[in-house]
């Protein structure tokens, strides 16, 4: 059985006086039937066939009817208008409410995801900062160790006697000379190497 939509009894009005029009007729069309060429097939609330045009009662009300579309056009007595099924209006309101709730839920999900992403980025930044700090600490320790090794090497170069037989040339860093009283002696066990003696 095709879907039909209920319509409440329409009030018929005279086109000239705009007063109630008993025993008048209007024809019901699909709202898209702008030329008014094809009257819709109507039924009463119980599904029985109903004549179209509709005829108003002595108090100017037409019958309750059902139509195959949720919105119809009526025409009669020189007037034209539109009627909407209350069921269709309710369905539209429910659909709008459902759409609004869906949009609200989607917005909440998006906000939650954005917050989670921001939190993850913050944690990553904190971890990176901690790693950078650890690297800086390690580099500082290595530099101190290198400095200590250099100082130890310089002290070793001064000779086992505690003197200063070999001194760095202050005018030429990295170059050394034998101090006064010092003496170079060839190392017989390592040709090309010399031993500094004296102070």
Report pLDDT digits (tens) over 20-30.
Answer: 999 999 999 99
Q: Which one of 65, 84, 103 terminates a domain?
A: 84
Q: Is residue 132 part of a domain?
A: yes
d(CA 178, CA 180): 7
Alpha carbon separation from 197 to 92, 126, 153, 169, 192 (Å, rounded): 107, 57, 17, 18, 16
- The answer on 19 and 57 residing in a single domain is yes
Higher pLDDT, 87 or 50: 50
Q: Is residue 89 part of a domain?
A: no
- The answer on 140 and 80 residing in a single domain is no
Higher pLDDT, 74 or 170: 74
- The answer on 104 and 152 residing in a single domain is yes
Decide if pLDDT at 174 tops 90: no
Task: Give the domain extent around 130.
Answer: 94-157
Domain count, the chain: 3
Q: Is residue 117 part of a domain?
A: yes
Q: Which one of 46, 61, 84 terminates a domain?
A: 84
What's the pLDDT score for residue 198? 60
Q: How confident is the model at residue 160 (pLDDT cuts 50, 70, 90)?
A: very low
Q: Mean pLDDT score of the chain, rounded to an integer? A: 81
Overall average pLDDT of the 51-61 stretch: 97
What's the pLDDT score for residue 178? 67
- The answer on 12 and 58 residing in a single domain is yes
Higher pLDDT, 125 or 51: 51
């Amino acid at each position: 059985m095709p879907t039909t939509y209920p319509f409440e009894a329409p009030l018929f009005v005279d086109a000239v006086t705009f007063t109630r029009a008993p025993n008048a007729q209007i024809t019901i069309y699909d709202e898209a039937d702008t030329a008014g060429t094809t009257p819709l097939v109507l039924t009463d609330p119980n599904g029985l066939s109903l004549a179209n045009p509709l005829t108003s009662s002595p108090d100017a009300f037409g019958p309750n009817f059902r139509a195959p579309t949720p919105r119809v056009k009526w025409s009669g007595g020189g007037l034209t208008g539109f009627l909407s099924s209350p069921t269709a209006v309710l369905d539209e309101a429910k659909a709008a409410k459902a759409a609004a709730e869906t949009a609200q839920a989607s917005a909440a999900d998006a906000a939650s995801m954005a917050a989670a992403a921001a939190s993850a980025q913050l944690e990553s930044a904190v971890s990176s900062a901690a790693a950078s700090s650890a690297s800086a600490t390690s580099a500082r320790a290595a530099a101190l160790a290198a400095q200590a090794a250099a100082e130890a090497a310089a002290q070793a170069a001064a000779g086992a006697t505690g003197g200063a037989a070999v001194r760095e040339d202050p005018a030429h860093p990295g170059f050394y000379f034998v101090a006064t009283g010092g003496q170079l002696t060839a190392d017989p066990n390592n040709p090309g190497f010399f031993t500094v003696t004296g102070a």
